[in-house]
Amino acid sequence: MAIQVGDKIPAATLFEIGDNGLGTVSTDELFAGKTVVLFNVPGAFTPTCSAKHLPGFIEKADALKAKGVDAIIGMAVNDPFVMKAWGKDAGVGEAVRLVSDGNAELTKKLGLEMDGTKAGLGTRCQRFSLIAKDGVITHLNVEQPGAFEVSTAEYALGQL
């Protein structure tokens, strides 16, 4: 069963490349005591994800933070090296923190897996965004397959 509004973000370990190389970060570290917007893309460097989804959150980062958001986190079931390269390519800077759910651990715990084998992608996560306060989901926006409407930065901004 998929996660719902009012549920706590499950404990999981995510990966990222930082100044000291490959590292891990727990969902507890990312969400505890903060208001966080988390968005997931089916794949870094894929068309909608690169042309619209990530750029929207970069462009709206200041507006989201002005509404009380402490952190904007972008996630994908990609390896952390791909996420780092994607962020560099997109000019993400400090606007969005990109993390890797390369093993789909959090994706599975959220119940938001997607079968991308027909496109050679394997297990991925559905496109979504959520807002969480101190680790509890206050808004959850899961896209219908192929859609890009409710997981946008603009939509999240309207929910704050």
Residues with a catalytic annotation lie at 49
Strands (E), the chain: 13-18, 21-26, 35-40, 71-76, 97-100, 113-115, 123-125, 128-133, 136-142
Predicted confidence at residue 50, as pLDDT, reads 84
Helix (H) or strand (E) holding 77: none
Predicted confidence at residue 70, as pLDDT, reads 98
On the question of pLDDT at 1 being above 70, the answer is no
In whole angstroms, what separates CA 52 from the centre of its chain? 14
Per-residue buried b or exposed e for 134-149, using 16+ beta carbons within 10 Å of the residue's own CB: ebebebbbbbeeeebe
What CA–CA distance (Å, rounded) separates 150 from 137? 16
Reported as a single tens digit per residue, the pLDDT across 36-67 is 999 999 989 988 888 889 999 999 999 999 99
Per-residue buried b or exposed e for 15-43, using 16+ beta carbons within 10 Å of the residue's own CB: bbbeeeeeeebebeebbeeebbbbbbbbb
Reported as a single tens digit per residue, the pLDDT across 15-38 is 999 889 999 999 999 999 999 999
Reported as a single tens digit per residue, the pLDDT across 92-135 is 999 999 999 999 999 999 999 988 888 878 788 999 999 999 99
Strand 128-133 with 21-26, pairing: unpaired
